[in-house]
């Protein structure tokens, strides 16, 4: 069984009359690097929220890591890393980057439990992997946008998820940070963790097989396998064609 199985799902936002995602099926296996592209408002973020149980699935069935998303969303969220598209930290947020990364362990830890040696080790490793040792003691609200994005990536790596979803994680990052982090994600994929990455820019994709999903108007317009070098060309062509639909 695939890690993610979506079978003809429909999802609608609370109070929304129309389904945003319509009759969508998708299967993702261990070790797959999935790039999700498509025009603005196509439903890319909504798709990630559906997988994570953050939005109600009105029809169809979704399972993640063998769990039914409609009935076991809390458990699904413990196993899925999710770097969200837009986040904002108040400048006076009192937590350090290190503490924010430790919060990635809370799903495993449980409430009111003290972090163990393993938790501290996972946090240290994630901070090292993302290369933000110099930020560890800085409060998150005083970090720049790109530094906050790196902290949120480290938070989700420390979680040691079974699936990693990232929604435009590079929007604030410079070229060398993007290239470096793509290497980190490539390594994650090599260990079997599937990655679902929503993106509008495709430079620096790792040189591994890509499972490309192009969305439009709440549906998957294309679901194919390609090389990293082909992604941009296919999306340009498809988005151009879709715009003219
Ligand atoms: N919280 C919400 N409540 C109601 N409708 C929403 C909500 N969030 C998104 N939508 C609607 O769902 C549709 C898909 O939005 P979504 O954010 O998934 O698009 P996207 O493909 O991620 O776009 P972008 O590239 O701009 O991030 C849009 O029409 C949007 O207006
Ligand atoms: Mg989005």
The pLDDT value given to residue 66: 97
Residue extents of the structural domains in the chain: 4-243
The pLDDT value given to residue 110: 77
pLDDT digits (tens, 9 = 90+) for 152-190: 999 999 999 999 999 999 988 999 999 999 999 999 999
At residue 200's C-alpha, the angle toward residues 199 and 205, to 5°, is: 60
The pLDDT value given to residue 242: 52
Q: Is the CB of 40 under 6 A from ligand 1?
A: yes
Return the ligand number nearest the Cα of 37: 1
Please give the average per-residue pLDDT across 82-106, as a whole number. Answer: 94
In the reported structure, the alpha carbon of residue 81 is separated from the centroid of ligand 1 by a whole-number distance in angstroms of 20
pLDDT digits (tens, 9 = 90+) for 198-208: 999 888 899 99
pLDDT digits (tens, 9 = 90+) for 223-241: 999 999 999 988 888 776 5
CB within 8 A of 176, min separation 6: which ones? none
CB within 8 A of 121, min separation 6: which ones? none
Q: Is the CB of 45 under 6 A from ligand 1?
A: yes
Please identify which residue in the block is written with the tokens 């890393």.
Answer: 81
pTM of the model: 0.94
Is domain 4-243 given the CATH code 3.50.50.60 in the classification? no
The pLDDT value given to residue 241: 59
Residue nearest to atom 26 of ligand 1 (CA): 40
Q: Is the CB of 44 under 6 A from ligand 1?
A: yes
Reported as a pLDDT band with limits 50, 70 and 90, residue 245 is: very low
């Amino acid at each position: 069984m695939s890690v993610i199985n979506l079978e003809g799902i429909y999802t609608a936002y609370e109070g929304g009359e129309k389904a945003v995602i319509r009759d969508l099926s998708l299967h993702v296996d261990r070790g797959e690097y999935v790039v999700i592209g498509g025009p603005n408002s196509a439903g890319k973020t909504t798709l990630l929220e559906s997988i994570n149980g953050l939005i109600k699935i009105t029809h169809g069935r979704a399972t993640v890591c063998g769990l039914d998303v409609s009935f076991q969303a809390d458990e699904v969220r413990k196993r899925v890393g999710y770097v969200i598209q837009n986040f904002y930290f108040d400048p006076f947020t009192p937590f350090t980057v290190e503490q924010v990364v430790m919060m990635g362990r809370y799903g495993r830890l449980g409430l009111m439990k003290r972090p163990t040696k393993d938790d501290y080790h996972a946090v240290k490793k994630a901070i090292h992997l993302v290369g933000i040792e110099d930020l560890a003691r800085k409060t998150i609200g005083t970090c720049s946008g790109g530094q906050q994005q790196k902290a949120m990536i480290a938070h989700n790596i420390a979680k040691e998820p079974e699936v990693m979803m990232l929604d435009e994680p590079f929007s604030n990052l410079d070229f060398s940070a993007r290239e470096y982090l793509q290497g980190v994600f490539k390594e994650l994929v090599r260990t079997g963790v599937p990655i679902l990455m929503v993106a509008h820019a495709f430079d620096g994709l790792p040189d591994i097989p890509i499972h490309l999903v192009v969305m439009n108007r709440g549906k998957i317009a294309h679901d194919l396998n390609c090389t990293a070098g082909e992604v941009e060309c296919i999306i340009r062509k498809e988005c151009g064609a879709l715009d003219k639909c």
